[in-house]
Amino acid sequence: MSGFKKITMGGLLRETTSRFPENDALVCPEFGVRESYAEFLISCTRVARGFLAIGVKKGDHVSVWATNVPQWIHLQFGLGMIGAVLVTVNTNYKSHELEYILNQSDSTTLVHIEGYRDTSFSRIVEEVIPEAEGAGVGNIRSVSLPSLRNVIYIRNGKKNDRTFCFEDVVRLGGAVSDEELRDRELSIDTDDVVNMQYTSGTTGFPKGVMLTHRNVINNAGMVGDVMGMTEDDRLLIQVPLFHCFGCVMSSLNCVYHGSTMVVLESFDPLKALEFIEKEKCTAINGVPTMFIAIMSHSEFKKFDLSSLRTGIMAGAPCPEEAMKNVMAGMHCPEITIAYGQTESSPVMTMTRRDDPVDLRVSTVGRLLDGIEGTVVDPETGEVLPPDTQGEIVTKSPCVMKGYYKMPEATEAAIDKEGWLHTGDLGTVDKSGYFWITGRIKDMIIRGGENIYPREIEEFLHKHPKVKDVYVVGIPDEKYGEQILASVELEDGEEAAEGEFEKFCTGKIARHKIPKYWEFNAPIPLTASGKVQKFKLAEQFLERKGK
């Protein structure tokens, strides 16, 4: 990739389609969808027209709460064509989190599916937005969500006559002229925000990371270049589209390079094996637990995976044995490791396809072309010499525009010289390879999901029996980390784990509910009275004999 592209989402899709119109673009076997780039462009354009027809303006925020359904990717590009901002909503979220995101993002529109696993999104929408029932186009007036005007239901075979449907929106788009769509497209700048991802914050409140066309398109291009992606590649997308891993490193990566998106609605190791064989996938992205689940499946050896060549493992440290098994047993000799964060769109560093195994598992690779990065003293900001631990910082056209409506948090993250402070501790060697050694910020990473203890602590403080609570990460072989909540109860109160789990269920995402609980355990303090969270974890492990 030479230099940074100055192109919008719509422009990129049209450019790729002009080069590879007959190539498979989107394949969703579970939904019977198989679209060439020419057909995919038509689908995305119909969505663009539909959302223009219902009054979505340039810069409007549209929240999408769905698994990896075909409409998610049509929305990604269709909304990009009209200058709207796709706000990604985690499918594990519950009512408390949905209401916060719709409110904080000032979303004018919510698009959702029926539900996921044991959670009915429709029921939660009825609870959070009772005004949506039977409301037509632009008619919603919600006291708690003043910006919201539309709720749109993606049927996918399920009926819901009380809600305005996705098909209705597409149908209304038939009245929008070519000129109207073209005028909207021409009004979009590459530095306009196109995607907003919510990342939990140390303040306890998730922050909306504003990513521009230029941010995500160029990051996707660089990531795919390192993977060696071309129009001949077929990438299995099994990671959630609501994360940058899905919508930048996977779907946008494919569209940038003219590759094929083979999409799983949600991760399933057996379906992954079936799709790789049937669709002859050449690439696969996932967190380490996904690769381990695929390789340990009882039917693993029955499938022909010889078409595989490359992919990305990211989101958590990769065990060396797992990396070796993926390279040999899954026929992925060119598998790479990527590191970054949502605020950098997301990738900063990657290992290269020809790096030796020890570098692929012990480091997070080298900087991508055009990305600056170094290690600084967290206190002084002074650049440190090689092999000296400090905070990893980065600067590039991939750094976010900022946090939505949080100028102080933006200022704290991006300094006056434009360096994004990651909050991760690490070192860089003389060859430019980065190591991650720890975190300055108070964060837990469980199975690739970033979890900020403060958010869970503030939620648990709502329980009437809680006097104080501290949430920390506990090492875990399968997920990397699990969550421990150490609860100090109000005087005279007693509690059990089940009581607190029940309090959390349905209100916060399943992956944020602590696995371990302890009540009235001694709290280790520093001389100045600050809680030593690392000691809290150590003491818990000692007591449990782990």
> Which residue ranges make up each domain of the chain?
9-329, 444-544
Task: Read off the pTM.
Answer: 0.86
CB of 419 within 8 A of CB of 394?
yes
Peptide bond just before 346 cis, omega within 30 deg: yes
Give the model's pLDDT for residue 133: 84
Domains 9-329 and 444-544 share a fold: no
CB of 399 within 8 A of CB of 345?
yes
- From the list 385, 381, 478, 496, the residue with the least C-alpha distance to 430 is 385
Confidence check: pLDDT of 534 > 90: no
Dihedral angle over CA of 235, 237, 238, 241, nearest 10: 160
* H or E, element range at 458: helix 453-460
Give the model's pLDDT for residue 450: 82
Give the model's pLDDT for residue 432: 97
Looking at domain 444-544, its CATH class is alpha beta
Handedness of CA 504, 246, 15, 351 (dihedral sign): positive
Handedness of CA 315, 320, 321, 323 (dihedral sign): positive
Instruction: State the chain's mean pLDDT as an integer.
Output: 93
- Domain spanning 9-329: CATH superfamily: ANL, N-terminal domain (3.40.50.12780)
Strand order in the sheet with 193-199: 164-165, 150-153, 109-112, 61-65, 85-88, 193-199, 207-212, 402-403
pLDDT band at 322 (very low <50, low <70, confident <90, very high): confident
Q: Would you give the distance in Å from CA 511 to the centre of its chain?
A: 14
391-449 tens-digit pLDDT: 999 999 999 999 999 999 999 999 999 999 998 889 999 999 999 887 777 778 898 88
361-404 tens-digit pLDDT: 889 999 999 999 999 998 899 999 999 999 999 999 999 999 99
Tell me the average pLDDT across 219-243.
98
Give the model's pLDDT for residue 361: 85
Phi, psi (5° rounding) for residue 486?
-100, 110
- Which is higher by pLDDT, 137 or 464? 464
pLDDT band at 532 (very low <50, low <70, confident <90, very high): confident
Give the model's pLDDT for residue 316: 72
**Cβ neighbour number for residue 470 with a 10 Å cutoff:** 22
Distances in Å between the Cα of 88 and the Cα atoms of 83, 85, 96, 198, 407 are: 16, 9, 16, 7, 21
Give the model's pLDDT for residue 407: 96
Confidence check: pLDDT of 13 > 70: yes
Give the model's pLDDT for residue 202: 44
52-77 tens-digit pLDDT: 999 999 999 999 999 999 999 999 99
